[in-house]
Amino acid sequence: VSWPRVVPGGSGAVNADGLDFYDRLVDELCAHGITPAPTLYHWDTPLALEEAGGWLDRDTAYRFAEYAGIVAERLADRVPMWITVNEPAEVTMLGYALGEHAPGRTLLLDALPAAHHQLLAHGLAVRALRAAGADNIGVALSHAPVWTAGDTDEDRHGAELYDTLTNWLFADPVLTGRYPDENLAALMPGPVADDLKVISTPLDWYGVNYYNPTLVGAPGPEALDTLSGFTMPAELPFGIREIEGYEKTGFGWPVVPEGLTEIVTALHTRYGDRLPPLYITENGCALEEPHADDRRIAYLESHLRALRAAMDAGADVRGYFTWSLTDNVEWTEGASQR
């Protein structure tokens, strides 16, 4: 669901035509035996809110909760599954820290308030959804193993920091009500302790978006200057390395199905009974073949087998969404990646 389509100004007047569109869409999906599972935020912030600071502004979280309630009041009677926000780590890193996605800010660690406010928006939205009659609510967070590039203390420190920023900075507050690092928590704005009580509002399920592991070590000449077309600032306190020896997707991402087993098992081990049932909310690959899809079929089969291995090891996995059903328009690549 597009937030600016429903509430173009970010707050206040609702676009009736926008809500009517989703009303008809949900009816058509249900009529054809397709279960709707809407995501309420996939990176399209209303312009008025972005101009007021976007996710750097605490008020954006409250406006998001209002919007979530508006959508649920219209659709909750037919929608059996809800996703609050999708990949807030990518919004924070690519949109606010590195400037590769909208809104194009290059704040590095000063982007952390955007992370906190997205997490707060998630927690407030869970409560707003339930108040409007919605249930079966989850979140979609990106997760992948972080492999250490070397055996030096500097390599281990770089990998641990990257792991914290990409995996646990968002998962820990949602699932435990704490940030994984006191130093990072100290950089968050507002009444953090009270916010964490909202952020950790219990979920019905937890979504994992998985694509590939990342090889990380100390910063230095061996680190990649670019990653997936994104420029990596020299001042980063870690360095990302090339993973060699694996088939690559159209994005240049290594195809590592066992990484899915690894990260799902890691989540199960880290959180135990605090981890709700899992859904894989994104997994897939971009490939050049327009018709013969044998490589994509092999990709999906290998990752489903990897997921089965995690389930056999004790992970409670309830479903799998492939990304994506149709050719996708990517944020920086447009329609060049199929």
Torsion (CA) 207, 209, 212, 214 in degrees, nearest 10: -80
* Residues 37/86, Cβ–Cβ less than 8 Å: no
Q: Maximum Cα–Cα distance for the chain, whole Å?
A: 58
* Residues 174/119, Cβ–Cβ less than 8 Å: yes
* Residues 170/119, Cβ–Cβ less than 8 Å: yes
Residues whose CB is less than 8 angstroms from the CB of residue 196 and which lie 6 or more positions away in sequence, other chains included: 173, 177, 178, 179
| Residue 222 annotated as catalytic | no
Cα 15 from Cα 70, distance rounded (Å)? 11
Candidates 182, 242, 282, 330; catalytic one? 282
Candidates 50, 87, 100, 262; catalytic one? 87
Residues whose CB is less than 8 angstroms from the CB of residue 24 and which lie 6 or more positions away in sequence, other chains included: none
* Residues 105/112, Cβ–Cβ less than 8 Å: no
| Residue 282 annotated as catalytic | yes
Does the CA dihedral 99-3-285-311 come out positive or negative? positive
Q: Report the catalytic residues.
A: 87, 282
